[in-house]
Amino acid sequence: MIQLLFRTRYKMSLNIYFCGSIHGGRQDANLYARIIKQLQEYGEVLTEHVGKVEIEKEAEKLDAKFIHDRDIDWLETSNVVVAEVTQPSLGVGYEIGRAVAMKKKILCLYRPTNPGKKLSCMIRGAHDGDSIKVFDYKEEELPKIFKDYFAAL
Ligand SMILES: O=c1[nH]c(=O)n([C@H]2C[C@H](O)[C@@H](COP(=O)(O)O)O2)cc1CO
């Protein structure tokens, strides 16, 4: 019951900006969709399109400046930024940098699956354990990570 009240309260008040690679590579697109579904338990995900398979076709119809300005507006109105940072993406790195400058609460999630690949120090090193958190994770750990993260906000 308490959890239900908690979720209802946050659904009404939290704007979540989810970042995931688009032009950087769509290998994790289905994972993004599953993450967005979980995040919707905690608030409104402003960037739901990041998990959509057909996003690249949609993006072709839109002007880059329109996408940039719309996303920066959403970033400004967001309360929390959640970024899946395993697949490197210039856009995601840029969004995180802008979000840091806006003093947003930021959660970065990285899957250390490939021993030959490392997360950028500019993301891992931004972790301060308070406003900016960077976690290594496995997908099955996400429900607990989100539960703990949003409860502590
Ligand atoms: O069509 C788009 N729509 C859009 O919202 N974005 C934003 C949201 C994503 O978190 C991020 C992805 O950047 P990139 O495309 O460089 O991987 O940029 C990026 C694009 C394409 O660059």
Atom 18, ligand 1: residue with shortest CA distance? 91
Q: What is the dihedral of CA 42, 46, 51, 53, to 10 degrees?
A: 150
CA 56 to ligand 1: nearest atom: 1
* 95-136 tens-digit pLDDT: 999 999 999 999 999 999 888 999 999 999 999 999 999 999
Q: How confident is the model at residue 1 (pLDDT cuts 50, 70, 90)?
A: very low
Residues with CB under 6 A from ligand 1: 19-24, 47, 50, 59, 67, 71, 89-92, 95
- Ligand 1 centre and the CA of 146: distance in Å? 23
- Higher-confidence residue of 124 and 13: namely 124
Residue type, 101: A
Q: How far apart are CA 3 and CA 147, in angstroms?
A: 10
Considering the four listed CATH numbers 3.30.499.10, 3.10.20.30, 3.40.50.450, 3.30.70.20, the one that applies to the domain covering 2-151 is 3.40.50.450
Burial 2-23 (b: 16+ CB within 10 A, else e): eeeeeeeebeeebbbbbbbbbe
Please state whether 84 falls in left (phi above 0), alpha (psi between -120 and 50) or beta: beta
Q: How confident is the model at residue 10 (pLDDT cuts 50, 70, 90)?
A: very low
Contact by Cβ (8 Å): 81, 107: yes
Binding residues for substrate: 32, 95
**pLDDT given at position 57:** 79
Contact by Cβ (8 Å): 85, 127: no
CA distances from 133 to 2, 54, 92, 125, 130 (A): 26, 30, 15, 10, 7
* 66-75 tens-digit pLDDT: 999 999 999 9
The whole-model pTM stands at 0.93
- Ligand 1 centre and the CA of 114: distance in Å? 23
3-state secondary structure 78-92: CCEEEEECCCCCHHH
Q: Where are the beta strands (DSSP E) in the chain?
A: 15-19, 44-45, 80-84, 105-110, 132-136
Domain edges within the chain: 2-151
- Ligand 1 centre and the CA of 56: distance in Å? 9
- Ligand 1 centre and the CA of 138: distance in Å? 23
Atom 4, ligand 1: residue with shortest CA distance? 67
